[in-house]
Amino acid sequence: MLKEWVKEERPSEEEIAERLKKARVELAARQVAIKEKKLPVLVVIDGWGAAGKGSVLGRIIKNLDPRFFNCETLASPTEEDLRRPFLYRYFVKIPAAGKITFFDGSWMGEITSARLMGEIGDKKYKKYLTSVKRFERQLNDNGYLVVKFFFHIEEKVQKKRIKQLLSDTYTAWRVSEKDQWQNKHYEKCMDVFDEYIDATNQFVAPWYFIDSANKKWAELQMTEILVSSINTALENAELHQKAPLLQNTFPLKKIPRLSEIPLNLSLTEEEYKEDLDRLQKRLGELHNELYHKKIPVVIAYEGWDAAGKGGNIKRIAAALDPRGYVVHPIASPEPAEKARHYLWRFWNRLPKDGHIAIFDRTWYGRVMVERLEGFCSENDWQRAYNEINEFEKELADWGAVIIKFWVQIDKETQLERFTERQNTPEKQWKITDEDWRNREKWDQYEVAVDEMLMKTNTSYAPWHVLESNDKKYARIKALKIVIRALEKRLGEQS
Amino acid sequence: MLKEWVKEERPSEEEIAERLKKARVELAARQVAIKEKKLPVLVVIDGWGAAGKGSVLGRIIKNLDPRFFNCETLASPTEEDLRRPFLYRYFVKIPAAGKITFFDGSWMGEITSARLMGEIGDKKYKKYLTSVKRFERQLNDNGYLVVKFFFHIEEKVQKKRIKQLLSDTYTAWRVSEKDQWQNKHYEKCMDVFDEYIDATNQFVAPWYFIDSANKKWAELQMTEILVSSINTALENAELHQKAPLLQNTFPLKKIPRLSEIPLNLSLTEEEYKEDLDRLQKRLGELHNELYHKKIPVVIAYEGWDAAGKGGNIKRIAAALDPRGYVVHPIASPEPAEKARHYLWRFWNRLPKDGHIAIFDRTWYGRVMVERLEGFCSENDWQRAYNEINEFEKELADWGAVIIKFWVQIDKETQLERFTERQNTPEKQWKITDEDWRNREKWDQYEVAVDEMLMKTNTSYAPWHVLESNDKKYARIKALKIVIRALEKRLGEQS
């Protein structure tokens, strides 16, 4: 695309000045509409070194209200970033509803640099492209506007600009070694940029090329495109348009319905104690090993109220070195979380490699409580199965061991436990009116859980049902599953 | 993708048989739902030669009701096909609402063959990819389900199968030279297939790989995927989910609003006669030339009722050789047309290269009458601006000269002409109640026309306003514009 791109003829200076005046006013006016419609806008600026990205961005934000936007400079990933999934550092910086975030540099830079330096092969490169396409499409599907700019200058212009900047001590610092390298290998860079742009030019997040030979002209092009793209997104918001569901492309394994699961499994107190000791010891050893091998682990707990999630998690956690794990209890989202993609708060809570994150309730809230209580639209939760499969694929590709537990009890057992809590003063805090209300919706929840298990039981992030009418049985089963999964991964590694 | 693909382990024969029984019943049951929800389903089957595409397709349709599906075998394009845009022969065969069409072979075959034979360079290849992505996405956006299969076998298996087929005179005919060539150049083919699949694997039309080493297993995979994909599409249909609007990526030129256009332009009878003679002669010459140079021409007429479209078209047509042009009067769509993508009837009416097609009313009906009369949803006409720009880009890339006329009059002139028609017995047939009803909606139409002109005035298919209060002026202007456009193109060619 970039190679075949035919530049528009640059208008006269007068025309540029006149259109710029108008476009600036229009863009400024859009801020209010963005705020009102709660539109999150992500503007991505990539391009050649010395193309003037920074100074054009500077001109554009001069006309905006600082309360409505922020800028993020995406330099090379830090040591910390490298211990998380590739998309982590970008995902955590996405804008809130009603705000514009400008990314000065993006994942394009990271990927094409690695490609140019020969740091990644074809296979990894293709994986990155898939991640990027999913990321940008998910943002779009969740109501984000994503506008991607590439600032283009020709080889000669770049050379001249670099020379000019270097000749003045006040501007010389703005020329990086990378810029100079780029100019020396312009053709090679062009090939890699072109290939990347072709592969990531999606209808939902298209690329726009900015002819950057002249700054005012570049500002005009960028401003006019921003206004036009924002208008489209506002129209979509006004029409409440939602992204249709996608065909599933993830390998799903069959899983029984909840009603088919026998719940008469149990352990004696002796069996339990013996197993618990032995398994916790083994888990502790494995934790050490995966810490050294830098394998990240994500354990997700979902289940009925009073099914015994808390006690089950405790038995896992007790075996672990406190410096190497964290338990995230997930309640309803904070305002800052509500204002962003619903997976944002989980991206934010991902462990570093070598660490274990245990989620006490998870991103599956989207297709259970949010679905049943109407906290999101039907389209939102319907889309979420695929979005969650994509999210977990991201974790799996990063190298995470993913273990998902559904803690299962029957309706009678729940009633017994609720009643016991109610009647035991020191346990009364554990039972709320909401628990009783949820219980009334048991059958609806069961439908939702069955659908969730069926649609998200992927080969890379499978569900495990823990039969928890007998809590002891469930705890031992959980420990065994975690141990088996870690042994399997550690075995593959050695 | 294909290269990195990790096959699922093939289940036991018993499991395959059991699942197949269930899947066949499910697929058969979906036919009724497809009919009820008026879902059009396009199934595309590509893959290696001798992978068993035909025989698996044969097994699948055995269980379907012939009233609900049809099969199309896409061989190499004919001489006739090659005189039309690349997508033409595929677009005209898309299914009607409520039906499944199986394409045995597709545009993938045509493009990858050309690539393998070195018949197309990078630039043309990329253009094809863009066309394909737009085509598949437009189908999806317009409510089609597109399911794409690639039947995969390994080099050795292919070799063995070819040998086996050739050894028997009853089956030898099924092995083509192409199949044998493929096997000899398996690695090279793999590279080209993989590149194509990567580039066209869109979320709205993903690729599915079928492990084709075993026929029953291949049938099972294909049937299960079909059921799952149809289920998704049915859910979308049930939720009335529509595709959101896309950011515009086409170069738009400014165009004045209708209210800004002066309508006092006119010609004397002498000027008119002199110009008409001269210009028609010139147009006749140019028609000859473009016939020989095989340049296709599409002339689109839109305008107010009684603006003088018919008379204007007559003056163009009179200059042309009747063997080299056709006028398409566009009325409301027939049932077969209504059951398909709204652009289908225009694809069907595209001229051969070297020929001229004049459309008396056009695809722009979508954003005028269909919009204002509610013949399509708001989402449908909102999306149509981009879909039309894409359609015309397809024509432009094919090499067509595209000329779009808006025949403009003012409200008073229309009233005069309506009244005259009403009062002149031999003209009464030209005026209907509908014309009067449309006239009442003049202001709404004007809003729609202004929006249409603004959003579809691309550099490759620009609008021309014909000031037609004086019909003579408008006719001469139209002739001049057509002549200029043809001269420009013929000039570029020589």
- In whole angstroms, give the CA distance from residue B329 to residue B351: 14
> A47-82 burial by CB neighbour count: b if 16+ within 10 A, else e?
bbbbbbbbebbebbbeebeeebbeebebeeeeeebe
- In whole angstroms, give the CA distance from residue A396 to residue B55: 37
Place domain A258-493 in its CATH homologous superfamily: P-loop containing nucleotide triphosphate hydrolases (3.40.50.300)
Task: Average the pLDDT over B251-269 and give the result.
Answer: 95
Q: Who wins on pLDDT, B173 or A145?
A: A145
Task: Average the pLDDT over B302-318 and give the result.
Answer: 97
- In whole angstroms, give the CA distance from residue B399 to residue B390: 14
- Contact state of A378 with B239 under an 8 Å Cβ cutoff: yes
Residue type at B80? Answer: E
Give yes or no for B378 touching A (CB within 8 A).
yes
Give yes or no for A423 touching B (CB within 8 A).
no
Q: With contacts defined as CB-CB under 8 Å, which chain A residues touch B232?
A: 245-248
Could you tell me the residue ranges of all domains in chain B? 13-238, 258-493
Nearest by CB: B245 against A208, A232, A378: A232
Residue B240 has pLDDT above 80, yes or no: no
Residue A353 has pLDDT above 90, yes or no: yes
Identify the pLDDT of residue B74.
84
Residue (of A476, A490, A481) closest to A288 by Cα position: A490
Q: What is the largest CA-CA distance in chain A?
A: 89
Residue (of A343, A354, A353, A333) closest to A392 by Cα position: A343
- Contact state of A241 with B246 under an 8 Å Cβ cutoff: no
CB-CB contact of A425 with A328 (8 Å) = no
Give yes or no for B133 touching A (CB within 8 A).
yes
Task: Average the pLDDT over B358-363 and give the result.
Answer: 98
3-state secondary structure B216-272: HHHHHHHHHHHHHHHHHHHHHHHCCCCCCCCCCCCCECCCCCHHHCCCCCCCCHHHH
Identify the pLDDT of residue A492.
81
Task: Average the pLDDT over A337-365 and give the result.
Answer: 97
- In whole angstroms, give the CA distance from residue B19 to residue B370: 46
Identify the pLDDT of residue A427.
86
CB-CB contact of A478 with A301 (8 Å) = no
Above pLDDT 70, what percent of chain B? 100
User: Which range has the worst mean pLDDT, A20-24, A365-369, A419-423, A453-457?
Assistant: A419-423
CB-CB contact of A472 with A272 (8 Å) = yes
Residue B209 contacts by C-beta under 8 Å, 6 or more apart in sequence? Answer: B1, B2, B5, B149, B150, B152
Residue B141 contacts by C-beta under 8 Å, 6 or more apart in sequence? Answer: B204, B242, B243, B383, B387
Q: Which helix (H) or strand (E) holds A187?
A: helix A186-200
Q: In this structure, are strands A41-47 and A145-152 parallel, antiparallel, or unpaired?
A: parallel
pLDDT tier at A494 (50, 70, 90 boundaries)? low
The whole-angstrom distance between residue A166's C-alpha and the CA centroid of its chain comes to 40
Give yes or no for A6 touching B (CB within 8 A).
no
- In whole angstroms, give the CA distance from residue A23 to residue B360: 37
Q: Which helix (H) or strand (E) holds A299?
A: strand A297-303
- Contact state of A247 with B236 under an 8 Å Cβ cutoff: no
Quote the minimal CA–CA distance from A84 to chain B in Å.
24
Selected residue of B247, B254, B376, B386 to mutate for chain A interface (largest A Cβ count, 10 A): B247
Q: With contacts defined as CB-CB under 8 Å, which chain A residues touch B381?
A: none
Identify the pLDDT of residue B238.
86
Task: Average the pLDDT over B252-261 and give the result.
Answer: 96
- In whole angstroms, give the CA distance from residue B196 to residue B128: 10
- Contact state of A232 with B239 under an 8 Å Cβ cutoff: no
**Each residue's pLDDT tens digit, B158-203:** 999 999 999 998 888 888 899 999 999 999 999 999 999 999 999 9
Residue B95 has pLDDT above 80, yes or no: yes
Cα dist from B415 to A82, B369, B373, B429, B448, whole Å? 73, 20, 22, 16, 20
Q: Which residue in chain B is spatially nearest to A146 when comparing CA positions?
A: B247
In sequence order, what DSSP letters do the residues of B350-371 get, joined into one string? PPPTT-EEEEES-GGGGGTHHH
- Contact state of B198 with A198 under an 8 Å Cβ cutoff: no
> B56-93 burial by CB neighbour count: b if 16+ within 10 A, else e?
bbebbbeebeeebbeebebeeeeeebebbbbbbbbbee
Q: Which helix (H) or strand (E) holds A128?
A: helix A122-141
Task: Average the pLDDT over A377-395 and give the result.
Answer: 96
Residue B493 has pLDDT above 70, yes or no: no
pLDDT tier at B426 (50, 70, 90 boundaries)? confident
Give yes or no for B131 touching A (CB within 8 A).
no
Q: With contacts defined as CB-CB under 8 Å, which chain A residues touch B233?
A: 247
Give yes or no for B417 touching A (CB within 8 A).
no
CB-CB contact of A446 with A282 (8 Å) = no
Matching residue, tokens 């999964």:
A485
Identify the pLDDT of residue B428.
86
Task: Average the pLDDT over B426-433 and give the result.
Answer: 87
Q: Which residue in chain A is spatially nearest to B253 when comparing CA positions?
A: A8
Structure tokens at B119: 């018949």
DSSP state of B431: -
- In whole angstroms, give the CA distance from residue A234 to residue B151: 42
Quote the minimal CA–CA distance from B32 to chain A in Å.
20
Residue B386 has pLDDT above 80, yes or no: yes
Give yes or no for B247 touching A (CB within 8 A).
yes
Identify the pLDDT of residue A398.
96
- In whole angstroms, give the CA distance from residue A388 to residue A363: 8
Give yes or no for A235 touching B (CB within 8 A).
yes
Q: Which of residues 430-469 of A touch B (CB under 8 A)?
A: none
- Domains A13-238 and A258-493 are alike in CATH topology: yes
Residue A223 has pLDDT above 70, yes or no: yes
Identify the pLDDT of residue A75.
79
Task: Classify residue B203 as exposed, middle or buried by CB count within 10 Å of its CB (0-12, 13-18, 19+).
Answer: buried
Task: Average the pLDDT over A347-366 and give the result.
Answer: 97
**Each residue's pLDDT tens digit, B24-65:** 999 999 999 999 999 999 999 999 999 999 999 999 999 899
Give yes or no for B253 touching A (CB within 8 A).
no
**Each residue's pLDDT tens digit, A241-291:** 788 999 999 999 999 999 999 999 999 999 999 999 999 999 999 999 999
Q: With contacts defined as CB-CB under 8 Å, which chain A residues touch B241?
A: 242-245, 379
- In whole angstroms, give the CA distance from residue A449 to residue A455: 10
Continuous H helices in A37-72: 53-62
3-state secondary structure of B209: strand
CB-CB contact of A283 with B274 (8 Å) = no
Task: Average the pLDDT over B253-272 and give the result.
Answer: 96
- In whole angstroms, give the CA distance from residue A296 to residue A294: 6
Task: Average the pLDDT over A69-92 and give the result.
Answer: 92
The phi, psi pair for B252, rounded to 5°, reads -105, 140
CB-CB contact of A152 with A211 (8 Å) = yes
Residue type at A457? Answer: N
Q: With contacts defined as CB-CB under 8 Å, which chain A residues touch B4?
A: 123, 126
Quote the minimal CA–CA distance from A246 to chain B in Å.
6
Q: Which residue in chain A is spatially nearest to B141 when comparing CA positions?
A: A244
> What is the signed CA dihedral for A418, A422, A423, A427, rounded to 10 degrees?
90
Q: Cα angle at A137 between A132 and A140, to 5 degrees?
A: 130
Q: Who wins on pLDDT, A45 or B434?
A: A45
Structure tokens at A251: 């390998």
pLDDT tier at B494 (50, 70, 90 boundaries)? low
Quote the minimal CA–CA distance from B204 to chain A in Å.
6
What is the separation, in whole angstroms, between the first and last Cα of chain A?
A: 44
Identify the pLDDT of residue A493.
66
Q: Which residue in chain B is spatially nearest to A204 when comparing CA positions?
A: B246
What is the separation, in whole angstroms, between the first and last Cα of chain B?
A: 44
Predicted-assembly ipTM surpassing the 0.95 threshold: no
**Each residue's pLDDT tens digit, A165-207:** 999 988 888 888 999 999 999 999 999 999 999 999 999 999 9
Q: Which residue in chain B is spatially nearest to A205 when comparing CA positions?
A: B247
Q: With contacts defined as CB-CB under 8 Å, which chain B residues touch A244?
A: 140, 204, 236, 241-243
**Each residue's pLDDT tens digit, B117-153:** 999 999 999 999 999 999 999 999 999 999 999 999 9
Q: Which residue in chain B is spatially nearest to A221 when comparing CA positions?
A: B251
Topology classification of domain B13-238? Rossmann fold (3.40.50)
Identify the pLDDT of residue A295.
97
Q: What is the largest CA-CA distance in chain B?
A: 89
- Contact state of A248 with B235 under an 8 Å Cβ cutoff: no
Identify the pLDDT of residue A346.
98
In sequence order, what DSSP letters do the residues of A75-115 get, joined into one string? -SPPTTGGGS-TTHHHHTTPPPTT-EEEEES-HHHHHHHHH
Task: Classify residue A491 as exposed, middle or buried by CB count within 10 Å of its CB (0-12, 13-18, 19+).
Answer: exposed
Residue type at A196? Answer: Y
Q: Which residue in chain B is spatially nearest to A143 when comparing CA positions?
A: B244
Q: Which of residues 62-121 of B touch A (CB under 8 A)?
A: none
Residue B4 contacts by C-beta under 8 Å, 6 or more apart in sequence? Answer: A123, A126
- Contact state of A246 with B378 under an 8 Å Cβ cutoff: no
